[in-house]
Structure 1
Amino acid sequence: MIYVVVVLAIYALGMTLLWWRLKTQVAGHLDAMLEFQLLKRSQRGELPLSPSKTVDWDAAQDEPEIIDKANEAMRLHQTFQKFVPRQFVDHFDKGGADKLALGYADEDEVAVMFCDIRGFTGLSERLSPQELMNFLNSYFLRMNAPIHANNGFIDKFIGDAIMALFDHPTGSSADKAADAVRAALDLQKALRLYNDHRSHSGYHTIKNGIGLHIGPVVIGTVGSDDRMDTTVIGDSVNITQRIEAMTEQLNVDILASRDLCDAAYSTFRFAHRLVDNIVLKGKTTSIELIEIFEHETVEEIARKQSTAATIKEGIALREAKKYEQALALFCQAYQEHQDDKVFAHHIDVCQKLLS
Structure 2
Amino acid sequence: MLEVLLGLVVVYAVIITLVYIRTWNNAQSAELTQKAAFKKRQAMMDATIEAKADEAMRLHQTFQKFVPRQFVEHFAKTGGTSLELGRADEDRVAILFCDIRGFTSLSEKMSPQELMYFLNSYFLRMNAPIHQNNGFIDKFIGDAIMALFDRPQGDDADKAYDAVRAALEIQVALTLYNNHRASSQYAPVKNGIGLHFGPVVLGTVGSDDRMDTTVIGDTVNVAQRIESLCRYFNSDILASHSAILLASSKTEFEYRLLDNIVLKGKSVATPVVEVVSHLPEAVKEQKLLAGEAIKDGIKLREDGYLKTALSHFESCLSSFPNDSAIKHHLRICKRAVNNKEWDGMVRL
Fold in common (TM above 0.5): yes
1:302 aligns with 2:285: yes
Alpha-carbon separation, structure 2, partners of 1:97 and 1:171 = 22
State the secondary structure of the residue aligned to 1:82.
helix
1:146 aligns with 2:129: yes
Alpha-carbon separation, structure 1, partners of 2:74 and 2:251 = 28
**What is the match of residue 92 of structure 2?**
109
* Aligned residues with identical type, % of pairs: 59
State the secondary structure of the residue aligned to 1:267.
coil
* Paired residues for 1:94-243 under 5 Å: 94-98=78-82, 100-243=83-226
From 284, 301, 311, give the equivalent of 1:318: 301
**What is the match of residue 52 of structure 1?**
none
From 311, 323, 330, give the equivalent of 1:340: 323
**What is the match of residue 19 of structure 1?**
none
**What is the match of residue 258 of structure 2?**
275
- How far does the alpha carbon of each residue in 1:315-353 deviate from its partner, in whole angstroms, 9 at most, with x for none? 111111211111111111111111211111111111111
Q: CA deviation at 1:62?
A: 7.8
State the secondary structure of the residue aligned to 1:174.
helix
Alpha-carbon separation, structure 2, partners of 1:235 and 1:286 = 14
| Unmatched runs of 5 consecutive residues or more in structure 1 | 1-22, 28-59
| Unmatched runs of 5 consecutive residues or more in structure 2 | 1-37, 339-348
Q: Which amino acid aligns with 2:188?
A: T
From 332, 336, 344, give the equivalent of 1:353: 336
Alpha-carbon separation, structure 1, partners of 2:162 and 2:258 = 22
State the secondary structure of the residue aligned to 1:284.
coil
Q: Which amino acid aligns with 1:299?
A: A
Alpha-carbon separation, structure 2, partners of 1:168 and 1:140 = 22
* Paired residues for 1:15-164 under 5 Å: 63-93=46-76, 94-98=78-82, 100-164=83-147
- How far does the alpha carbon of each residue in 1:230-267 deviate from its partner, in whole angstroms, 9 at most, with x for none? 00000000000000011111111100001110010010
Q: Which amino acid aligns with 1:129?
A: P
What is the TM-score of this pair, normalised by structure 1? 0.81
- How far does the alpha carbon of each residue in 1:161-196 deviate from its partner, in whole angstroms, 9 at most, with x for none? 000000012101100000000000000000011111
**What is the match of residue 48 of structure 1?**
none
- Provide the alpha-carbon RMSD of the alignment: 1.9
State the secondary structure of the residue aligned to 1:63.
helix
Q: Which is higher, the Rg of structure 1 or of structure 2? A: 2
Shift in alpha-carbon separation, 1:216–1:332, aligned structure 2, 3 A: same
Alpha-carbon separation, structure 1, partners of 2:330 and 2:189 = 27
State the secondary structure of the residue aligned to 1:169.
coil
**What is the match of residue 328 of structure 1?**
311
